[in-house]
Chain A
Amino acid sequence: MAEIGSFALLLALALSAYSFLAGIVALIFQNRASSQLVGVTAGGPGVTPSVGESSLATMLRQGSERIGETARRAGIATFAAVLLASVVLVICAFRNDFSIAYILHHSNRDLPGPYKFAVLWSGQEGSLLFWSLLLAAYGFVLRLRYKTDPRLFAYASVVLSGVQIFFLLLLNFAAHPFAIVTGTIPADGNGLNPLLQYPEMVIHPPMLYLGYVGFTVPFAFALGALIMKYPGEKWIHITRRWTMVTWAFLTCGVFLGAHWAYSVLGWGGYWGWDPVENASLMPWLTGTAFLHSVMMQEKRGMLKMWNMWLVFATFWLAILGTFLTRSGIISSVHAFAQSSIGDWFAWFLAITLIVFLFFFFKNKSHLRSEHKLESLVSRESSFLFNNLLFVLLCFTVLWGTWFPKISELVQGNKVTVGAPFYNRVAIPVALLLLILTAVGPLLAWRKTSLESLKRNFMWPTVGAVVVAVFLMITPQSWGSPFGLKPWQDISYFYSLMAIALSVLVTLTVASEFYRGGRVISKHTGQGMFASMVQLTHRNTRRYGGYIVHFGVVMVIIGFAGAAFNQDKEMEMGYGDKMTIGPYTLICRSYTDDDAPNYASEWAVLDVYKGGKQIDTMTPVRRFYKASQQTSTMPDIRSSLNEDLYLVFEGLNQDNGHPILKAHLNALVMWIWMGVWIMLGGTILALIPNAPAPVRVPAPARLERTQAAPVVTGD
């Protein structure tokens, strides 16, 4: 089996190399043939092209078009070859083929089936193969849809093939997933990292990778459009859905990672500003900025250079993220590999930067803006500030993530920055972004007058202030988030601001639906709800986007809950009590269990609230036999107000007493609900618009005869 996998990888490399080189040759000759034909036909009156010149150019073009087609097909065949290699690796995992080093190191006989499937992305070689598979799959879809715009797709296909070659080179020559074990083959494997043996780990990496890899597609189109000086913004229309789908996958991946950290790592939190977490956040930040700013390019032909840089940065940061996760260059709780592929990535990152810079400076003139910013109070400026904030946050995260490496290079010793460093920037930036999320949709394109501002903001602002005052004056005994006294602690101040601004965003989003629904209701006579549904269907992108904003608001409220978190740790024998917040925990017993893959110890605790038993919780500690590692499985009781989070930390080495840690985490469920709403909004935004039965009067000033040329389309 391993030989088939190895051959499939070599074949994939040959095919993608052909796709890349033949694609370039085809495009060069097509350009040359087009310029010859243009030169021949543009000879001017009286200049008749010779039959030889014309037929040579035609032959050149036809030949190059056929070469281009073979390049496209080679790209499609690459997918088949990489898919075969991946299937072979998964089959080897299920067959317990420990003659393959990768299977030996990442699987064992008693590993449950779903985790055997997840072996594909659990180690470095497999995850690089998975990266390559997803890229080939995206390329497959792209190359099948080439009829949308064959020439632009041909450029994008070449860029994708270039990236694919890098990953296939890595797989064939630096991190081979089918490397054979030398000497005696062990009877059982070393097993999968216990931290990865959790249901979400079966879907979290694929989601994250679909996001990482997916941003290669908008980048390929953007670079292709830049190289060919593509006239117009149609490439944005073509990539819009790709970008949104990719963003949704990345969002899902980032938050699944947060949920996994919350449910498995046992420290009671969901985000620790770990380098690998940061690696997934950075492309998400620039990708989110791109999703917003690209609207300015579509609507107003502005920010073309900025968008080009954003889409490149997103792609580049996604590669950097894969590098961080896989190289082990920076210490992380979940950098699951230590290897020497860092040099390969460093070279690839450098080459992509050089290629991008070359074409950017060569064709920069093609990216000039068609309009200027007319007013600081406009939709354009809100997008601009939104972008600056996203980029500032991304830069902060980048700096903090790489600071240990930078400090090691400069001072000789590693200095790591922690949560306070990131929070100092991230919290104010998030609050400012919330303000812009509220303000942006209500501002008009080009400029907004004071009267318009008053008209649109008065009631949402009043609503937000009322809620803030209410939260301040209510007693703390009502539970979180009531009784917030911002003067008591800076974290309370931030929480209050976050909740008040979230209310502001919610009210502005609601007012958008209400006002739009009212117009449709007036014209169609439908009820308000039906009108709002129709309104959403007419402009799914805009109203889907508002729903995403609402999801973001819920996530932010969930984050704001962190100000109210409590935790307590104690040794608990039979019948011992622990009180945390409104809960009383009584230890009932301890028990253990033995499964083929792991042995486990359980603590059994009765949970009381208001003197009444409401639940029994069982935090677990597992010992994985194959890897000889221990892992905790917290038990979490979630409600809308708070999560009761129990961790069985093990036995006190001195007296043998079990140690239990309890966390009371406020409003965490809001985060997970918010993510579902964000994903729902994105899916809605992907639905095509219903045709709007609205007539627009044709512009009445067609009498201009000597019109100044509009912006160039080259």
Chain B
Amino acid sequence: MTWIPLCLMLAIACLYYVFYLPGRLFLGPEKTRAGYLRERKDAVYENLRDLNFEYKAGKVPDADYASLKSSLQDEAATLLAEISRLESLAPASRKPRV
């Protein structure tokens, strides 16, 4: 029957760990649309970097490069425009909640 105190100790340790919450909780920053658009912008920039590199490596002909670069720049411009519009509406940036 030595297992009973062992099991009790285990259960108490688990309950203590689960329910004893000292201090404040880390909740992280809230995800906003502007944040989402910044992620998209980063992705488009990465695509632009890839395209530039492939062009320099000789994989993409001049005409293809110009057209692909232009469409990626259009996409980035659209994103930047919306980001700046959202930032002008909410100038105070949110800080992470702790």
CA–CA, A70 to B25, complex, Å?
A: 11
Contact: B21 with A4, CB < 8 Å? no
Contact: A710 with B82, CB < 8 Å? yes
Partner among A150, A451, A701 whose Cβ is within 8 Å of the Cβ of B28 = A150
Contact: A3 with B21, CB < 8 Å? no
Report the nearest A residue to B37, measured CB to CB: A710
Q: Which residues of A lie under 8 Å from residue B58 when comparing CB positions?
A: 455, 515
Instruction: From known contacts A18-B18, A518-B57, infer whether A84 and B10 are also in contact, taking CB-CB under 8 Å.
Output: yes
User: Nearest-CB distance from A148 to chain B (Å)?
Assistant: 8
Report the nearest A residue to B71, measured CB to CB: A446
Contact: B71 with A449, CB < 8 Å? no
User: Nearest-CB distance from B95 to chain A (Å)?
Assistant: 15
CA–CA, A439 to B85, complex, Å?
A: 41
Q: Which residues of B lie under 8 Å from residue A54 when comparing CB positions?
A: none
User: Nearest-CB distance from A125 to chain B (Å)?
Assistant: 20
Please report whether the interface of chain A is mostly helix, strand, loop or mixed according to DSSP: helix
Beta-carbon contacts of B10-31 to A below 8 Å, as 1s and 0s? 1100100111010001111001
Q: Does A105 contact B (CB under 8 A)?
A: no
Partner among B6, B28, B36 whose Cβ is within 8 Å of the Cβ of A713 = B36
CA–CA, A299 to B44, complex, Å?
A: 7
Contact: B53 with A74, CB < 8 Å? no
CA–CA, A447 to B66, complex, Å?
A: 12
Report the nearest A residue to B54, measured CB to CB: A444
CA–CA, A447 to B45, complex, Å?
A: 18
Q: Which residues of B lie under 8 Å from residue A231 when comparing CB positions?
A: 31, 33, 35-36
Contact: B64 with A151, CB < 8 Å? no
Partner among A77, A444, A692, A701 whose Cβ is within 8 Å of the Cβ of B73 = A701
Q: Does A362 contact B (CB under 8 A)?
A: no
Instruction: From known contacts A445-B47, A446-B68, infer whether A709 and B80 are also in contact, taking CB-CB under 8 Å.
Output: no
Q: Which residues of A lie under 8 Å from residue B54 when comparing CB positions?
A: 444
Question: For window 670-703 of chain A, which residues contact chain B by CB distance below 8 Å?
Answer: 692, 694, 696, 699-702
CA–CA, A575 to B22, complex, Å?
A: 81
Instruction: From known contacts A65-B27, A234-B39, infer whether A449 and B61 are also in contact, taking CB-CB under 8 Å.
Output: yes
Instruction: From known contacts A232-B40, A707-B81, A713-B37, infer whether A701 and B45 are also in contact, taking CB-CB under 8 Å.
Output: no
Q: Does B87 contact A (CB under 8 A)?
A: no
Q: Which residues of B lie under 8 Å from residue A151 when comparing CB positions?
A: 28, 31
Contact: B17 with A73, CB < 8 Å? yes
Instruction: From known contacts A147-B28, A149-B28, infer whether A713 and B64 are also in contact, taking CB-CB under 8 Å.
Output: no
Q: Which residues of A lie under 8 Å from residue B39 when comparing CB positions?
A: 232-234
Q: How many A-B residue pairs have CB under 8 A?
A: 148
Contact: B14 with A15, CB < 8 Å? yes
Contact: B68 with A702, CB < 8 Å? no
Report the nearest B residue to A73, measured CB to CB: B18
User: Nearest-CB distance from A706 to chain B (Å)?
Assistant: 8
Contact: A449 with B21, CB < 8 Å? no
Contact: A456 with B59, CB < 8 Å? yes
Question: For window 444-471 of chain A, which residues contact chain B by CB distance below 8 Å?
Answer: 444-449, 451-452, 455-456
Q: Does A346 contact B (CB under 8 A)?
A: no
Q: Does A291 contact B (CB under 8 A)?
A: no
Contact: B59 with A455, CB < 8 Å? yes
Contact: A704 with B78, CB < 8 Å? yes
Q: Does A69 contact B (CB under 8 A)?
A: yes
CA–CA, A442 to B64, complex, Å?
A: 14
Q: Which residues of A lie under 8 Å from residue B45 when comparing CB positions?
A: 696
Instruction: From known contacts A232-B40, A699-B73, infer whether A70 and B19 are also in contact, taking CB-CB under 8 Å.
Output: yes
Q: Which residues of A lie under 8 Å from residue B6 when comparing CB positions?
A: 4
Contact: B3 with A7, CB < 8 Å? yes
Q: Does A81 contact B (CB under 8 A)?
A: yes
Instruction: From known contacts A73-B17, A449-B63, infer whether A4 and B7 are also in contact, taking CB-CB under 8 Å.
Output: yes
> How many residues belonging to A are interface residues under a CB distance threshold of 8 Å?
62
CA–CA, A426 to B56, complex, Å?
A: 38
CA–CA, A446 to B73, complex, Å?
A: 14
Contact: B81 with A7, CB < 8 Å? no
User: Nearest-CB distance from A539 to chain B (Å)?
Assistant: 8
User: Nearest-CB distance from A198 to chain B (Å)?
Assistant: 36
CA–CA, A147 to B56, complex, Å?
A: 39
CA–CA, A37 to B3, complex, Å?
A: 50
Q: Which residues of A lie under 8 Å from residue B50 when comparing CB positions?
A: 445
Q: Does A66 contact B (CB under 8 A)?
A: yes
Q: Which residues of A lie under 8 Å from residue B10 when comparing CB positions?
A: 7-8, 11, 81, 84
CA–CA, A505 to B37, complex, Å?
A: 37
Q: Does A595 contact B (CB under 8 A)?
A: no
Beta-carbon contacts of A1-35 to B below 8 Å, as 1s and 0s? 10110011001000100100000000000000000
User: Nearest-CB distance from A445 to chain B (Å)?
Assistant: 7
Q: Which residues of A lie under 8 Å from residue B25 when comparing CB positions?
A: 65-66, 69
CA–CA, A230 to B26, complex, Å?
A: 19
Beta-carbon contacts of A47-68 to B below 8 Å, as 1s and 0s? 0000000000000000001100
Contact: B77 with A704, CB < 8 Å? yes
Contact: B53 with A694, CB < 8 Å? yes
Instruction: From known contacts A150-B26, A516-B57, infer whether A696 and B49 are also in contact, taking CB-CB under 8 Å.
Output: yes
User: Nearest-CB distance from B14 to chain A (Å)?
Assistant: 5
CA–CA, A656 to B10, complex, Å?
A: 62
CA–CA, A24 to B14, complex, Å?
A: 20
Q: Which residues of A lie under 8 Å from residue B78 when comparing CB positions?
A: 704, 707-708, 710
Report the nearest B residue to A74, measured CB to CB: B18
CA–CA, A701 to B60, complex, Å?
A: 23
Report the nearest B residue to A7, measured CB to CB: B7
Contact: A696 with B28, CB < 8 Å? no
CA–CA, A81 to B76, complex, Å?
A: 50
CA–CA, A18 to B14, complex, Å?
A: 12
Q: List 18 other contacts, CB 8 Å, given A151-B28, A301-B43.
A: A4-B3, A4-B6, A7-B10, A74-B18, A81-B10, A151-B31, A232-B31, A232-B36, A299-B43, A299-B46, A299-B47, A444-B51, A445-B47, A447-B68, A455-B59, A516-B57, A705-B81, A710-B82
Top 4 nearest A-B pairs by Cβ distance? A713-B36, A707-B81, A515-B57, A701-B77
Binding site for A on B (CB under 8 A): 3, 6-7, 10-11, 14, 17-19, 21, 25-28, 31, 33, 35-37, 39-40, 43, 45-54, 56-61, 63-64, 68, 71, 73-74, 76-82, 84-85
14 inter-chain pairs at a CB distance below 8 angstroms, sorted by A residue, are: A4-B6, A7-B3, A66-B25, A77-B18, A149-B28, A230-B31, A232-B35, A451-B64, A455-B59, A699-B74, A699-B77, A699-B80, A702-B81, A710-B40
